[in-house]
Chain A
Amino acid sequence: DAGVTQSPTHLIKTRGQQVTLRCSPKSGHDTVSWYQQALGQGPQFIFQYYEEEERQRGNFPDRFSGHQFPNYSSELNVNALLLGDSALYLCASSLATGAPNSPLHFGNGTRLTVT
């Protein structure tokens, strides 16, 4: 049973560029959440997607956007990259109708470095 998979594992971009990160949820899950984990910090909630729509959003600027596809996979897009966007980006999936007993399953993350 495949867990949450994220690609790529590592990425280096230059300031001002745009980046797209990808996430495939655990089999059977329909909800995807994205978190940003800066070095030495706890993860911070970016947003959550369910039924191809953004359901919740954290305190992140509009440069951060996302998408969910009919197969429940998701993309995180960041425009006009800043040095401060360097972080580990974590994707987590869950089953909406399985809550409250459905825990979040996290992927191993994408390490983004902005130079």
Chain B
Amino acid sequence: AQSVTQLGSHVSVSEGALVLLRCNYSSSVPPYLFWYVQYPNQGLQLLLKYTSAATLVKGINGFEAEFKKSETSFHLTKPSAHMSDAAEYFCAVSEDFGNEKLTFGTGTRLTIIP
């Protein structure tokens, strides 16, 4: 069975500082990995996805993530935090590409300090 672990349920960064949200995966087959963002009282929005085409994946809103097989990690980063980045972030894995059955982590709440 596949799973993802998000380290840190809450992360606070100052506006303009680097954002780093951690995700480690467990998978017996090459994983397909995703990062989603959820704003209050809203559904989830896809930030980016890893499909084995490139290890460094660029997403929307200036976010990117790097797939590191040796570390079984897929951490999400953004060079400079903006107030509008405050939200809940979820890492997810699927068995195969195009499979909508996603397994999500427990989420990381990102707070931006003015």
Contacts and interface: CB of A to CB of B under 8 A. Distances in A.
Interface in B56-114: 90, 92, 97-107
A104 B102 contact: yes
Interface in A54-71: 56, 58
Interface of A: 4, 31, 33, 40-45, 48, 56, 58, 90, 92, 94, 99-100, 102-104, 106-109
Contacts of A42: 90, 92, 104-107
Given A41-B107, A43-B104, A104 B97 contact: no
A103 B46 contact: yes
Contacts of B100: 31, 33, 48, 56, 92, 94, 104
A107 B41 CA distance: 10
A107 B103 CA distance: 18
A43 B90 contact: yes
B49 A103 contact: yes
Contacts of A106: 36, 43-45
A42 B5 CA distance: 11
Nearest to B97: A100
Given A41-B106, A56-B99, A109-B42, 5 more contacts: A90-B43, A90-B44, A99-B98, A103-B46, A108-B41
Interface residues of B, number: 22
Interface of B: 36, 41-46, 49, 51, 90, 92, 97-107
Contacts, number: 57
- Interface SS of chain A: helix, strand, loop or mixed? loop
B101 A102 contact: no
B101 A56 contact: yes
B40 to A, nearest CB: 10
A-B pairs, top 7 by smallest CB distance, nearest first, are A99-B98, A42-B104, A106-B43, A100-B98, A100-B97, A106-B44, A33-B100
A79 to B, nearest CB: 23
A97 to B, nearest CB: 10
